[in-house]
């Protein structure tokens, strides 16, 4: 009888520990990658049949019903950073994956919006940012069943070396 109680307490402690670890995971995830070149580590992929949407240093977009969005840096300037701002998913629930910059930070703002900052080029792990004329994609992944709300709007601003 005593062994059963000790086992039950042990199982309860293990379950509580696992649930606290699960709460530390980030979701949903934003995924930004090079398409057909651009950046040091382009991923396979192609712009859709109609081509990638040309954008300048400031642009807006909404989360599509499915699939990633494809863009072309038509600003005629190399981008050394890219800042995305959204309202709708809390910063502590957002994670980022990308292959164009050295880092991606998710920062809560005082107004309740979330700032996602991609920055850093070259250095120990050379990455080029988003070069003038380069294509890139922005995707939205679900993590553990938690997804981005469809239609959620983002604003974007690219930092340039000029």
Residue 143 lies in a domain: yes
Within a domain: residue 19? Answer: no
Range of the domain at 64: 26-160
- What's the total number of domains in the chain? 1
| Coil, helix or strand at residue 16 | helix
Residue 133 lies in a domain: yes
* Structure confidence at residue 3 (pLDDT): 52
Examine residue 93 and state whether it is found in any structural domain, yes or no: yes
Report if residue 18 sits inside a domain: no
Look at residue 129 and tell me whether its pLDDT is greater than 80: yes
Strands 79-86 and 114-119, bridge-based pairing:
antiparallel
Residue 45: per-residue pLDDT: 60
Q: For residue 151, give every residue at least 6 positions away whose Cβ sits within 8 Å of its Cβ, in sequence order, or none.
A: 62, 63
21 within domain boundaries: no
> Does 140 fall in a domain?
yes
Q: How would residue 36 be classed by pLDDT, with cut points 50, 70 and 90? A: low
């Amino acid at each position: 009888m005593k062994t059963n109680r000790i086992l039950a307490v042990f199982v309860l402690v293990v379950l509580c520990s696992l649930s606290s670890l699960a709460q530390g995971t980030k979701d949903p995830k934003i995924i930004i990658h090079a398409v057909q070149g651009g950046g040091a580590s382009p991923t396979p992929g192609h712009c859709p049949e109609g081509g990638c949407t040309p954008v300048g240093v400031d642009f807006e977009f909404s989360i599509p019903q499915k699939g990633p969005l494809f863009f072309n840096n038509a600003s005629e300037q190399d981008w050394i950073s890219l800042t995305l701002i959204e309202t709708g998913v809390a910063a502590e629930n957002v994670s980022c994956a990308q292959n164009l910059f050295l880092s991606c930070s998710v920062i809560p703002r005082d107004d309740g919006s979330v700032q996602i900052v991609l920055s850093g080029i070259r250095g120990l792990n050379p990455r080029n940012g988003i070069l003038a004329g380069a294509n890139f994609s922005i995707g939205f992944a679900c993590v553990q069943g938690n997804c981005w709300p469809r239609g959620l709007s983002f604003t974007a601003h690219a930092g340039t070396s000029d």
